[in-house]
Amino acid sequence: MNYTLSNQAVGAIMMALQKSLMTQTDIVPVLTSFEIQVTDNNQLIITNPPIVEVETKLPEGGTIETSVQ
């Protein structure tokens, strides 16, 4: 049986890479912690994608915190 990555799974991998680059940490623990399910059309999905938190500094001195999952 052949399986393909769903768009969601590709997005989860890209988020893991982005988080790893932002925090300068190893990506392997994030990838190995992925919980994977197979959909009815033989695509893989990640049920626990990484959460990336970004803090944006505003010109006025405030901050905005954003989480992306």
- The pLDDT value recorded for residue 41 is 96
Domain spans of the chain? 4-68
* Residue at token pair 């940490």: 25
Residue 51 has pLDDT above 70, yes or no: yes
Hey, CA dihedral for 13, 30, 48, 4, is it positive or negative?
positive
pLDDT confidence tier of residue 64, bands split at 50, 70 and 90: low
Cα gap 37→52, rounded to integer Å? 22
Contact 26, 8 (CB under 8 A): no
Residue 69 has pLDDT above 60, yes or no: no
pLDDT confidence tier of residue 7, bands split at 50, 70 and 90: very high
Hey, CA dihedral for 56, 57, 58, 59, is it positive or negative?
negative
pTM: 0.77
